[in-house]
Amino acid sequence: SYVLTQPPSVSVAPGKTARITCGGNNIGYKSVHWYQQKPGQAPVLVIYYDKDRPSEISERFSGSNSGNTATLTISRVEAGDEADYYCQVWDYSSDHVVFGGGTKLTVL
């Protein structure tokens, strides 16, 4: 089965740029989606199709995907960005949904 690997945690100072990676075999050939989850809340889609943003999501959120790594980038990080972030793909070989293990973003 397809596996997505995320770092457990990333720390960043306010105003700086956070990069959260999602590793997978040839993930560059798949569409990657990213979710933000704050404590006690349901996940929220922040990036879909590798780099597209829902209209309600800040332009500070961006995504890229190439080779074996997809990346969620958060620019000018704010305290309110502190959350867990998950990547997700559709594995066409099995028609299964796959989530990464999640990354906790801490704003210092």
Partner 1 sequence: QVQLQESGPGLVKPSETLSLTCTVSGGSINNYYWSWIRQPPGKGLEWIGYIYYSGSTNYNPSLKSRVTISVDTSNNHFSLKLTSVTAADTAVYYCARHGKEWGFDYWGQGTLVTVSS
Residues forming the site for partner 1 (CB under 8 A): 1, 31, 33, 35, 37, 42-45, 48-49, 54, 84, 86, 88, 90, 94-102
50 versus 81: smaller Cβ distance to partner 1: 50
Residue 79, SS3? helix
2 versus 58: smaller Cβ distance to partner 1: 2
On whether the CB atoms of residues 91 and 98 are closer than 8 A, the answer is yes
10 versus 98: smaller Cβ distance to partner 1: 98
- The whole-angstrom separation of Cα 18 and Cα 91 is 27
- The whole-angstrom separation of Cα 17 and Cα 39 is 22
The minimum distance between CB 97 and partner 1, in angstroms, equals: 4
